[in-house]
Structure 1
Amino acid sequence: MSVYAGLPLRLVCYAAGAAALSIAGPSLWNAPTFIAAAASVATALCFAVADVLFSTHRFARRAFVTAAYNKAEVEALGARVAALEMLRPAASMTAAAPETHDVSLETANNLLQFAAHVSARCGRKVTPDFVADSAGDPIGDAQIELHLQPIVGIPDRRVQHYEVLSRLRSHTGTLMMPAEFLPAARATGRAADIDTRQLSSIVGLCHRIGDRHMETRLFCNLSGDSLQSDSFRAALTTFARQQKALSQRIVFEIDAATAVTLNTEVAADLRGIEAMGFAFSVDKASLGDLPRLQGIFRRPGFLKLDAAILEKADPGVLKALARGGTQVIATHVETEDQAASVRRAGVALGQGFLFGKPRPARMDDSARRRAA
């Protein structure tokens, strides 16, 4: 609703108040009628001007925030399209014969031109650092930066765990979001490298935390591209063996779309890591995924379900998960109504902007060196 929606009614109230004071003023203030009327009108006018200025300020602030959000969306679009432009085969850069016309390439070029046009209108060119610096290794040269989003107990809103979200900080200081660097990382086979560096950073963060909050766990995301790599799984198994002391601090998180497509070899490796004491979390899951997930893991330690799904979930299924040792986490909790609905469903843990947005993790120098 517009910030000016109730302004006319308020102005009418100010005018009515001025008229009432003009009539009652002479007897109330023991002043001449002209002076009482002037004072009443001046008072009402001051209130009206203040109301208009306040409403204009709110409108301008909302417009500024909306413009900044739209600008960020356009820059992200430009980054993704520019990444596609950088990663297309070298052969497609040459003039193609009419009979080998590439429709997808033409579409990508059109999108690139559109993104450049809109970004230029917003006052910035589409030159993200990881695309512009094509001569070096922009992904390898960038530094991993960890951001933490809290997972809280819904009844008391106390922080129980954190999900670790990785960002890349370029050599120029620009912070790159996953939507900007993940497509390029996957296309160039660098997803496993990012996940490996993320694990090293999380170990550094665990050491910084020390023995404080031993019950707090850090949820570390692993991409499907990394899990399909034999070398990465071997490194992950070695990591789990060497860092077994952190098995109660680190939770490996996989999205459901990746988990249900894992073959028997990958599933066997993950069960071996489970046997070392590490828990797994399945994100973006649905209740229909449960039979397949039970065939992959011994038991998922955590299952993340959207708050909208939990509102319609069968309480018996949720109780069966709890009896089996799986903790359900409600995700995308954005309103108090959703939090109340999730709590009524018997879910004790929640994650979403209602409870906290991702914030940069405080890391000491040794942790930063591990992230480099």
Structure 2
Amino acid sequence: MIRISTIFIAICMVLVAASLGLILYSVAGISGVESAIVALTALTFLILYNAVSMRLRDRTDVGGQIADLSRGTADLARQVAEFGRRLSAVEGKLASINHAGADRIQAVVGEINELGGLVKQLAVSVAGHEDILSANAAVAAPVARPESPPPSEPSVATEPPKLVVAPPPITVAAPEVPAPLRNEVQTLAAVKTAIEENRLDIYLQPMVTLPQRKVRFYEAVTRIRDEHDRVLAADDFLPFVEAAGLMGRVDHTMMLRCVQVLRRLMVRNKEVGIFCNMAAATLGSPATFAPCLDFLEANRALAPSFVIEFKQATFRNLGPTESEHLAALAQRGYRFSIDHVTDLRIEPRELADRGVRFIKVPAALLLDPKASSSSDIHPSDLSDLLGRFGIDLIAERIEGERAVVDLLDFDVRFGQGFLFAPPRPLRPEGSPAADGAGKAPESNGGVKAPAADAPAIEPSLRATGNAALARRAAGPN
């Protein structure tokens, strides 16, 4: 479609040519034919000039467009090259990931094969043990049978020997069996009576920092007094308590007294804490755990200073119920400790995720050279490994100064044992003082002795520490 500007230019050229012809005809006196020829010639030149100028202008425009197109093509080529480079980088990363995944899969397959080999070895060893046991049983059977013929050899008759052989086992077995049974029944009855009459005592043993030996925590230990005021240690009565199903009641009573002691301790020192033991039976029973959880919920303000302690076997045998109860305690801000450690096969990440912040390891186990060969880590590196996950290592059952020096090389921060102080009894207000507290002063008339409550423990610890320092100064015995 012809543009309006082109039509306007054409009209102007015709008018210019016609005007030129009229001027030549009227002014110059040229004839009409000659003026018409001149006008046509002028019109032709104008048309040619316009066509050439338009062609040059179009060529310039086309050159500019071609230059723009070439620049766009170059930009597109650069973008394509950049996309190609990025695509190659992504392909390289995918190849490396696939290679790493293949290596991991091969490693997992190798571990599975090793586990399969171990399982086969275990099956072979179990089968060998079963064969040995069956062989021992087969050997024991003929050994037990020839014992019956000797009494039959002296007598020829068949019936008298049977009458002679039968009575001896009855007379020998009768006095042996009832004696331990009678003792167990008596101990069980005494333990039940002591729990019902609330003759549960709490003993406190300090945990000190190393090497400063400053008291940082106390561990609460349970003791029971019988009707004759004889003290029974935990190892003596706990089996009977668990058999009688009274473990939850004992743990609840201990938590109550530990909270009372902790409140009295925090009056003097806000940084002190207390360790309270909880049995696996209490943790695994919803009926016995519910009152303990309610009590701890009511005292959750003391959670940063109240540490609940479990055995290593309890953590290794956690079921769904125990894990749920443990999570409920951790949700309320309580921290956990592990004691009764028998080996150093410890997974610190898993324990830290469950809320464990302390692990108590016997000093003899840490210093035993055989322990490093049977564990995944050397005992000297155990404290650093646990520290990376926020777990403090406590060396317990320390009984000599040489053990303290060796443990300092292992970077152990806390210690517990008879070297620092033994478990000391805690008496309520108005009760007779604990052993070692001294008699009542004469100014009191000997009527009332001072109560050995929790805040009065630290002076006795300082006295024990001074005695230990005196022994060190005196040299070895």
1:221-242 residue CA offsets vs partner (Å, 9 max, x unmatched): 1112222211222223222211
Output aligned runs, 1:313-328, within 5 Å. 313-328=378-393
What's 1:196 paired with?
Answer: 252
Output aligned runs, 1:269-308, within 5 Å. 269-286=325-342, 288-291=344-347, 294=350, 297-308=353-364
Deviation of the 1:278 alpha carbon: 1.0
Structure 2: runs of 5 or more not aligned:
1-166, 373-377, 432-450, 453-477
What's 1:5 paired with?
Answer: none
Distance 1:289 1:364 in 2: 44
Are 1:256 and 1:289, in contact at CA under 8 Å, matched by a contact in 2? no
Deviation of the 1:255 alpha carbon: 0.9
Instruction: Report the AA paired with residue 302 of structure 2.
Output: L
Q: Does 1:180 align with 2:245?
A: no
Q: Structure 2 vs 1, CA of residues 132 and 292 (structure 1 numbering), >3 Å: closer, same or farther? A: same
Q: Identity, % of aligned pairs?
A: 28
Q: Structure 2 vs 1, CA of residues 213 and 107 (structure 1 numbering), >3 Å: closer, same or farther? A: farther
> SS at 2:268's partner residue?
coil
Distance 2:271 2:418 in 1: 23
Deviation of the 1:289 alpha carbon: 4.1
Q: Structure 2 vs 1, CA of residues 237 and 133 (structure 1 numbering), >3 Å: closer, same or farther? A: closer
Q: Structure 2 vs 1, CA of residues 140 and 105 (structure 1 numbering), >3 Å: closer, same or farther? A: farther
Aligned residues: 256
Are 1:141 and 1:171, in contact at CA under 8 Å, matched by a contact in 2? no
Q: Does 1:208 align with 2:264?
A: yes
1:240-297 residue CA offsets vs partner (Å, 9 max, x unmatched): 2111111122110011012211213211221221121111000022554422882685
- Tell which deviates more after alignment, 179-188 or 189-198: 179-188
Deviation of the 1:189 alpha carbon: 0.4
Match of 2:406 among 341, 349, 358: 341
Deviation of the 1:104 alpha carbon: 10
> SS at 1:179's partner residue?
helix
Q: Does 1:161 align with 2:217?
A: yes
CA radius of gyration, larger in? 2
TM-score by length of 2: 0.48
Q: Structure 2 vs 1, CA of residues 279 and 105 (structure 1 numbering), >3 Å: closer, same or farther? A: farther
Distance 1:227 1:330 in 2: 25
Distance 1:323 1:108 in 2: 54
Distance 2:420 2:205 in 1: 9
Q: Structure 2 vs 1, CA of residues 365 and 263 (structure 1 numbering), >3 Å: closer, same or farther? A: farther
What's 1:66 paired with?
Answer: none
Are 1:285 and 1:304, in contact at CA under 8 Å, matched by a contact in 2? yes
Whose helix fraction is larger, Structure 1's or Structure 2's?
2
Distance 1:104 1:288 in 2: 44
Structure 1: runs of 5 or more not aligned:
1-97, 114-125
TM-score by length of 1: 0.61
Deviation of the 1:170 alpha carbon: 3.5
Distance 1:217 1:259 in 2: 22
Match of 1:332 among 397, 408, 411: 397
Q: Structure 2 vs 1, CA of residues 240 and 127 (structure 1 numbering), >3 Å: closer, same or farther? A: closer
Deviation of the 1:316 alpha carbon: 3.3
Instruction: Report the AA paired with residue 149 of structure 1.
Output: Q
Deviation of the 1:301 alpha carbon: 0.9
Are 2:396 and 2:417, in contact at CA under 8 Å, matched by a contact in 1? yes
Output aligned runs, 1:25-64, within 5 Å. none
What's 1:36 paired with?
Answer: none
What's 2:288 paired with?
Answer: 232
1:18-38 residue CA offsets vs partner (Å, 9 max, x unmatched): xxxxxxxxxxxxxxxxxxxxx
Deviation of the 1:365 alpha carbon: 5.9
- Tell which deviates more after alignment, 209-218 or 197-206: 209-218
Output aligned runs, 1:57-206, within 5 Å. 108-109=177-178, 130=187, 137-206=193-262
- More relative contact order in 1 or in 2 (CA 8 Å, sep 6+)? 1
